Structure 1
Amino acid sequence: MIEVLLALVAGVIGGILSRWIPFPKKTPPLPHIEVDSSHEYMVTRGVEMFYEGGDLHMAKIRRQENPGAVLIADGINRG
């Protein structure tokens, strides 16, 4: 019973303090990429390069074929 009361009090105090302490805002979303040949795409995992070129669809295929690989578009990591 004491534990429940302490948890309730801690929750109330945390809720009150959260209104006074500013928390960092979410990071803004990455800009949308237009699909055209003016972009440079790379698919890498560590030092291994699986694809480098201007075809987004091919880059996505290579990323799916290689677990753990990331898609980098114009120098921005897209996951």
Structure 2
Amino acid sequence: MFLAGTSGDEITEEGFTIVFDSPLLPADGRLVVGDVVGRSRFPTSLVGKPGRHRVTVAVDNPNGPARAVDVMLGEIPQ
């Protein structure tokens, strides 16, 4: 699921590579972003109400350790 719905070759205006772009369905309206080895973790309740949300994640280095991560949240029209 980590790379589902992505092409890996789209670049944002900031020069980041999109590694995830797909709808998610958080049951409690919360989103947690972390790294694979568990060194850092960022929980947020900014998603709001439970339901489908579009989530896009972009990184500065998709082939190695990323130093910067950009997480974009959006609504999906009903």
TM range (shorter): under 0.3
- TM-score, normalization by structure 2: 0.23
Which structure carries more strand by proportion? 2
Q: Which has the larger radius of gyration?
A: 1
Report which structure shows greater RCO (CA 8 Å, sep ≥6): 2
Which structure carries more helix by proportion? 1
- TM-score, normalization by structure 1: 0.22
